[in-house]
Amino acid sequence: MQTLTLFEHAPETALDWHRAGTGAALATVVQTWGSAPRRTGAQLVVSGDGQIEGSVSGGCVEGAVVVEAMEALQDGRHRLLEFGVSDADAFAAGLACGGTIKVLVEPVGSALPADLLEDLVQARANHTPVAYEVNLTTGARRLVRGGHPDRMRLDRSGLEDGGEIFVAVHNPPLRLVCVGAVHITQALVPMARIAGYDPVIIDPRAAFASAERFPGETLMDDWPDEAVEKLGLDSRTALVLLTHDPKLDDPALQAALAAEVFYIGALGSRKTHAARTARMQQAGFTEQQIARIHGPIGLDIGAAGPAEIAVSILAEMTAVLRGKQP
């Protein structure tokens, strides 16, 4: 994950502070130019008693945003702020040059209705992808499910309709489901966790799926089709099949082909993959469904050894997630 991460729990914190009676205002980066310290969608929460959580600028303009947020809590109106980040401040934040950011400040309970924020927090708790729209001119706000497919896929909040509408993307966490607790999995799982995935390892073979080999990770010793049914497969899930054993891989593969996972990768040579394709055809899957399988798995970077294979897999997952043709 990036060193300067988005404040992932800003809506929840804002709702908690509002319910506690201290008041809360959400500040969100809605647009950037140049080397702005934070990307669009970064959030800061300000309470009525001066507490802050998160960041919209890496420290460059936080003080001014807090002042505006406190005023917004008094008058109940949202405001759109614009700041230029100086070269000196940008350098202090680890950037080469300055930039400009626009920040939307919304007091909860007035400009941002509490029931709308509650619906947003509930959708996030249910792992439901949702977009939050706000008209920066009229103040009209709503949650949209099933809209903005490109933004949702790319995790890209931003302005639309000539800059009048801000769309904030709220996606569930990414998940990586690995079938096969093998040596490649030992390298892939920590890399994926750094990249923002929540990994789960499935392997009914106790000698492979042990806490000693995967300390601190989620292990499931169910048969793969039973395990993925328990987990549920969705558009934020990547499934990686690494056992080399059709008895283990195929049940999970069939479940993934019938679901909306964004990535399916399977280890094996081209010959192995051809046999896998034939088995899926015999199981009744269409050519279009089978084409979703990335096999042999990973980008062709000449990988040698488990760690480099893991790099190639994670790179291919990222390309597919972000809409790039691997």
pLDDT at residue 126, as a whole number: 86
Retrieve residue 52's tokens: 């802050």
The CA distances from residue 262 to 73, 257, 258, 302, in Å, are 41, 10, 12, 24
Looking at the domain 174-321, which fold is it?
Answer: Rossmann fold (3.40.50)
DSSP H helical segments within the chain, as ranges? 10-20, 62-75, 87-92, 114-125, 149-154, 183-194, 224-231, 246-257, 270-282, 287-290, 306-321
Which amino acid is it at 143?
A: L
Which residue from 313, 239, 250 is spatially nearest to 284, judged by alpha carbons? Answer: 250
Query: pLDDT (tens digit, 9 = 90+) per residue, 216-253?
Result: 999 999 999 999 999 989 888 999 999 989 999 999 99
pLDDT at residue 235, as a whole number: 85
Q: What is the pTM of this model?
A: 0.72
Query: What are the residue ranges spanned by the domains of the chain?
Result: 10-170, 174-321
Mean pLDDT of the chain: 89
Give the angle subtended at the CA of 176 by the CAs of 175 and 180, to the nearest 5°.
Answer: 150
Residue ranges of the chain whose pLDDT lies below 70: 1-7, 35-37, 58-60, 85-99
Query: pLDDT (tens digit, 9 = 90+) per residue, 12-53?
Result: 999 999 999 999 999 999 998 776 667 899 999 999 998 999
Retrieve residue 149's tokens: 């497919």
